[in-house]
Amino acid sequence: MHKLVAAAALVLLGVDGSPSSISNTKPSILVELFTSEGCSSCPAADALLARLHAEQPLTGEVIVLEFHVDYWDRLGWKDPFSSAAFTRRQQEYSRVFGSERIYTPQMVVDGEAELIGSDEREARRAIEKAAERSHLPLRVTARAAGAVVRLSMDAPSRPADTEPIDILVALAEDGLTSVVKRGENGGRTLDHVAVVRRIEKTGALDADAFVAQGEWRLDPSWRRANLRAVAWLQGRKSHRVYGTASATVEDR
């Protein structure tokens, strides 16, 4: 049995006839930005991420996530959205891109390309290239009930002869603003989209398709109307993203 969080186990249900083959439709592409409010070059990258989110430059969906790392926090301003877990996620990518490729702002497109997060031309090129590759189908829904959000994912079977593929889920919040009082961005008001509030690895693809269900407790400070659930399938060794899906958190 997989776990979504320590206190909430996923229920795995067999899905007869669920799509498990590689999809030929225009896929959703995952764009991650590693950023910090303490970094003077990061606001331009935050703005680019917001444009990609708003403009949607593909026939398919560009799904964005903003990870605030914590290694800038000791340099004059503690980013209120930062987490050591997000720093660890960026460090995991160094196994693919190299240990010297840990910096802010860093953008990672579909787990395969990394670039300076404010480089719009390169970002759009990487997104278009990722969209040319086939992806696995994936679906996620999220419904809030009281102080929890209930998540459900339709996961495909793992294709034969592929690496282990993990299932990850994040909750992201749009419309966040900070007035930075110190550090390199002191005196600036910074706006953010898709700020990751929580991320969990929920399990892995299996030989058979299945539905995974579970729930997370909502922090009272998170604005429910601005929350989205993002799920994606990521190769354990290559870090390639095999499929991505997102859904707004609906009230039950």
Those residues of the chain that have pLDDT short of 50 are 1-21, 23-24
61-114 residue pLDDT tens: 999 999 999 999 999 999 999 999 999 999 999 999 998 999 999 999 999 999
pLDDT at 60: 87
pLDDT of residue 252: 74
Enumerate the domain spans of the chain.
3-18+26-251
Q: The whole model's pTM is what?
A: 0.91
Residue 18, classed as helix, strand or coil, is coil
Contact 44, 118 (CB under 8 A): yes
Question: What tokens appear for 114 in the block?
Answer: 């990394």
* CATH fold of the domain at 3-18+26-251: Immunoglobulin-like (2.60.40)
> Which residue type does 149 have?
V
Q: How many CB atoms lie within 10 A of CB 51?
A: 15
Alpha-carbon distance of 250 to 4, in angstroms, equals: 19
SS3 27: coil
Residue 59: predicted pLDDT = 84
pLDDT of the residue at 25: 65
Q: What pLDDT score was predicted for residue 6?
A: 31
Question: What's the length of the chain?
Answer: 252
